[in-house]
Amino acid sequence: MGGKTNLLDPVQLETLYVASRQFEDKANKSIQGIHKKLMKLHEDSLHLDLSNEEGRTMKEGTACINRAVEALMESLGATSQFIDGRLAGAVQYSQKMRRGSSAMKAEQAWIARLKK
């Protein structure tokens, strides 16, 4: 039960949001690397003297990997949209609270100076 109190903690949600963005960037870079390697594999296969069966197997394998990578990209995109939608508001709330806290401290300091 004690964990529920921290469930909507803006600071923890902001940390989770930042980690999610970093993961998304890393995943996108990895997927770009996979695409580059697949392109190179395809280019290299054009220069090989493959039989019809070997060539067809190579094309089918490459197409299968491409479909898997596309499905992965769609899944990551959907996950990213979900996380952004849920956590972006928490980040904005956290930033507002920080600004409000700074303004409140400044006001308290100003009142303290007036009392002197």
The Cα-based distances of 71 to 11, 35, 36, 67, 115 in angstroms read: 33, 13, 17, 6, 65
Q: Does 4 map to a domain? A: no
Reported confidence tier of residue 19, pLDDT bands at 50, 70, 90: confident
Cβ distance 50 to 62 under 8 Å?
no
- Give the integer Cα–Cα distance in Å for 60 and 24: 29
pLDDT value for 1? 44
pLDDT value for 112? 73
Q: Does 5 map to a domain? A: no
Q: Does 41 map to a domain? A: yes
Q: Please compute the mean of the pLDDT values over residues 46-61 and round it to a whole number.
A: 82
Domain that holds residue 21: 10-115
Report the number of distinct structural domains present in the chain: 1
Q: Does 2 map to a domain? A: no
> Does residue 4 surpass a pLDDT of 60?
no
Cα four-point dihedral sign 85, 89, 94, 99: positive
Q: Does 86 map to a domain? A: yes
pLDDT value for 29? 92
What letter represents residue 110's amino acid? W
Q: Does 92 map to a domain? A: yes
Percent of the chain with pLDDT over 70: 72
What residues contact residue 67 under an 8 Å CB cut-off, 6+ apart? none
Q: Does 21 map to a domain? A: yes
The Cα-based distances of 105 to 12, 91, 92, 110 in angstroms read: 23, 21, 20, 9
Q: Does 42 map to a domain? A: yes
- Give the integer Cα–Cα distance in Å for 35 and 69: 8
Reported confidence tier of residue 6, pLDDT bands at 50, 70, 90: low
pLDDT value for 110? 72
